Amino acid sequence: MAANDSAAVRTEGVWKTFHQEAEEVHAVRDVSLTVERGEFTALAGPSGSGKTTLLNLIGGLTRPSQGRVWVAGREVSEMSNQELARLRLEEVGFVFQAYNLLPVLTALENAEFPMLLQGVDPAERHARVGELFERTGMSGLEDRRPGKLSGGQQQRVAVVRAVASRPALVLADEPTANLDSTASEALLDVMGELNRDLGVTFVFATHDSRVMERSRRLVRMVDGAVAADERRA
Amino acid sequence: MHARVLVMLALRNLRRHLRRTVLTAAAMIAGAVVMVFSFTLDDGSHEQWVDSGVRMGSGHVTVERPEYRVSRRIDDRLADDVRRAAEQALHSPELAPHVTALSARLGITGLASSAAGSRPAQIVAVDPAAEADFGTIDDQVAEGRYLEADDGLAACVGAGLAESLDLELGSRFVVQAQDAEREIAGQLLRVVGIFRSGLPAIDQMLIHVPLATAGEWLGSATDVTNVGVVLADSDATALVVDRLERALAEPVARGEVRVMGWEESDPTLATAIAVDALGNYIIQGFLLVIIAFGIVNTVLMSVMHRHREFGVLRALGLSPGQTGTIVLIEGLALAAASGLVGVGLGILIMWYFLGDGLDMATFMEGAEDLTFGGVQVDPVIVPIFGALRMVQITAFIVGVGCLSAVYPALRAMRIDVTEAMKFDR
């Protein structure tokens, strides 16, 4: 079946099975899902429901045991490691629960890092990150190393890093889990704005009710399968 | 662009864990210093052995008839035109700078007799002035003096032979050998000097006599059996042999003459040096292995410590090969810097403390009488700082540093990204 090129993500009958000793554990069961470009989607569910694994499958960090995954019209399932790396660099931005900024780089260098790998012109890199830092309230903190930033600030740098290279989608795994409520609200405001103003596609894995409330589509997962898929106005 | 980013990340990671980096570098620097110490002294002692061996023997290069090395007979004299061609080539602008001494000798076996009895002898007829520059016998005269230009029936005799024949300074004795007419001819000589080389085989056999005296005694005029050449640097041996062979191409092709380097004319010494050098390489190899384990341990710890970072890099778009490359660059940069610093430091230390030589007699009783590979060993070893050797030591250190980073790099490449992202969460 041909991929729907207008979709940011499409999965078709995806399974992910882990083998623990003699036992098979199905982390993701037969998930078929389409995320259109510009969506602000939350994958919600309790711990162990398979949301992070599904996010990893979409981002090409792990391969499906069965089924197919397309990102921006490109089939991920059969790609080589090299091709997957290229896909992540060009089409996917990641925001992690633990921020995961590179400690040897400044805030600015962290934010520019994917563009540095893409070979984007320095002036263009600075312009894009400068604008996003302005939007996210990070201006003036460009030269700080991650260790000198608060959790909220680090996560904002991580969001800028994920968005600045203009990927087809941003995958955010529990982005607010380590933040207090003020920092969480501020971060969600930033991501909402980026989605609304720049059309950035966000897919969250979360069990934070604030994220679920703000998402325009809520996919509930139970035991690795999609239990409900609600769209909101 | 990727390469620059990878280099930047690698260098910043080294700077980030400065203490670990400095400790690892210190181990490699210490290794390089030890290697400089060991190799410069080893090269120095080898050069001394070669110098001692060739001066006691037939030079770095010798020109002689092919049969002479075994026969040691007066029949195997060099043809006059061959000798002249060889000496002309050695005085040419290309070879002259390499040549420090040249001695044309007539060496034969014979019998030395006195009232105390007879002993086989190795009789070497020399030009006293040329031989004084060429050999070491003149420096090893224990009693009397060495031969002089206007000496007639004079001889400088090994201490062992003098003792056997009960000879003293001024004693007369007779030497007998086959002459140019294949007759046995005798000559009365007077002892003007007794030398002690430290090598029993030499001291019990060798007699130096003036070439002019031998020419009259044996009817060989100014003929010689070989032309020996001492060079400023033994590394030039192959070049000089090659040029002489070209200059003497026709007699060489006719089998009338042979040009030999010291390794061919003195295989015992060449083998002894090769064995000693191999031993040193093996010891240095062990040292490098120990250093390598230290580096592997440190770099591997650094990789494990950055497990999640490597996961992040992969998630951001680096391939497994690129994450491994970061680790390899770290190893290469650390090893290159350490190798250069270590070799530089080693040279400075050696130059400052041992530039005039390391006197083994300070540590070893009886070092003055030590022999090795058929030559007497000078107890003072003067280190040699060859450019090629320094490059070799740097290359060893860099090679070990890079090889030590291979396994940690493979570990970094094989990181499971999803597991790495969970790491330390």
Range of the domain at B398: 2-53+270-422
CA B188/CA B287 separation, integer angstroms: 61
Which pLDDT score is estimated for A1? 43
Q: How close A15 comes to chain B (CA, Å)?
A: 16
Is residue B394 within 8 Å of B36, Cβ to Cβ? no
Q: What is the extent of the structural domain holding A149?
A: 7-231
Provide the percentage of residues in chain A whose pLDDT is more than 70. 97
Of A86, A100, A116, the CB nearest to B1: A116
**Mean pLDDT on B361-375:** 69
Average the pLDDT over B43-72 and give the result: 88
* Residue A138 maps to a domain: yes
Q: How far is CA B283 from CA A142, A152, B275, B288, B399, in A?
A: 52, 56, 12, 9, 17
Q: Which residue has the tokens 């980026």?
A: A194
For A145, name the nearest residue in chain B, comparing CA atoms only.
Answer: B16
Tell me, yes or no, whether A1 lies in a domain. no
pLDDT for the residue numbered B379 = 77
Residues in B touching A117 (Cβ below 8 Å): 1-2, 5, 316-318
pLDDT tens column, B224-273: 999 999 999 888 999 999 999 999 999 999 999 999 999 998 888 899 88
Q: Determine whether the interchain pair A104/B1 forms a contact, defined as Cβ–Cβ distance below 8 Å.
A: no
Kindly state whether residues B252 and B188 are assigned to the same domain: yes
Considering B265, B297, B332, which residue would you say is the last residue of a domain? B265
What proportion of chain A, given as a percentage, has pLDDT over 90?
A: 65
**Is B212 found in the same domain as B66?**
yes
Interface confidence, given as ipTM, is 0.89
3-state secondary structure of B377: coil
For residue B112, pLDDT beyond 60? yes
Q: Do the chains contact at A88 and B317, CB–CB below 8 Å?
A: yes
DSSP string, A50-76: SHHHHHHHHTTSS--SEEEEEETTEE-
Q: Does position A124 have pLDDT exceeding 90, yes or no?
A: yes
CB A42 within 8 A of CB A110: no
Does residue A2 belong to any structural domain of this protein? no
* CATH number of the domain encompassing residue A133: 3.40.50.300
* Number of folded domains that form chain A: 1
Q: At B110, is the pLDDT very low, low, confident or very high (cuts 50, 70, 90)?
A: very high
What does the pLDDT read at residue B226? 93
Look at residues B265, B298, B325 and tell me which one is the last residue of a structural domain: B265
Mean pLDDT of chain B: 90
CA distance linking residue B48 with residue B382, whole number of Å? 8
Substitution target from B8, B17, B20, B312 for chain A, most A beta carbons within 10 A: B312
| pLDDT of amino acid A2 | 45
DSSP states along B354-374: HTT-EEGGGTSTTGGG-EETT
B320-339 pLDDT tens trace: 999 999 999 999 999 999 99
Give the length of chain B.
425
Do B89 and B151 sit in the same domain of this protein?
yes
Q: What's the pLDDT band for B373 if we cut at 50, 70, 90?
A: low
User: Both B289 and B236 in a single domain?
Assistant: no
DSSP string, B121-184: EEEEEE-HHHHHHH-SGGGGEEEE----TT-SSEEEEEHHHHHHTT--TT-EEEEEEE-TTS-E
pLDDT tens digits, B7-26: 999 999 999 889 989 988 99
CA pair distance B19, B8, nearest whole angstrom: 19
- In 3-state terms, what secondary structure has residue B91? coil
Structural contact between residues B59 and B261, judged by C-beta atoms closer than 8 angstroms: no
Nearest to B1 among A53, A105, A119 (CB): A119
CB contact under 8 A, B316 and A97: no
Mean pLDDT of A213-222: 94
pLDDT tier for residue B424 given thresholds of 50, 70 and 90: very low
Partner-chain contact A113 B1, CB within 8 Å: no
Q: Whose CA is closest to B24, among B345, B223, B293?
A: B293
Q: Are residues B90 and B176 in the same domain?
A: yes
Q: pLDDT category, A180, cuts 50, 70, 90?
A: confident
Residues A192-218: what's their mean pLDDT? Answer: 91
Output the pLDDT for position B421: 77
Q: Which of B202, B234, B265 is the last residue of a domain?
A: B265
The predicted model gives A96-122 an average pLDDT of 93
Q: What is the pLDDT of residue A71?
A: 93
Flag whether pLDDT at B144 surpasses 90: yes
What's the gap in Å between the CA of A3 and the closest CA on chain B? 23
Are B136 and B182 found together in one domain? Answer: yes
Contact at CB, A113 and B319, closer than 8 angstroms: no
| pLDDT at site B76 | 92
Q: Which residue of A has its CA nearest to B10?
A: A104
Do B329 and B231 share a structural domain?
A: no
Number of domains in chain B: 2
CB of A11 within 8 Å of a chain B CB? The answer is no
Counted across chains A and B, CB pairs separated by less than 8 A come out at: 73
Asked whether residue B1 carries a pLDDT value surpassing 80, the answer given is no
Higher pLDDT, B357 or B34: B34
A37-83, pLDDT tens digit by residue?
999 999 999 988 999 999 999 999 999 999 999 999 999 888 998 89
pLDDT at position B62 over 70: yes
B414 at A interface, C-beta within 8 A: no
The answer to whether residue A41 sits within a structural domain is yes
Could you tell me the end-to-end alpha-carbon distance of chain B, in angstroms, rounded to an integer? 31
Q: Give the per-residue pLDDT at A11.
A: 95
- In this structure, which amino acid lies at residue A218? L
Q: Is residue B231 domain-shared with residue B314, that is, in the same domain? A: no
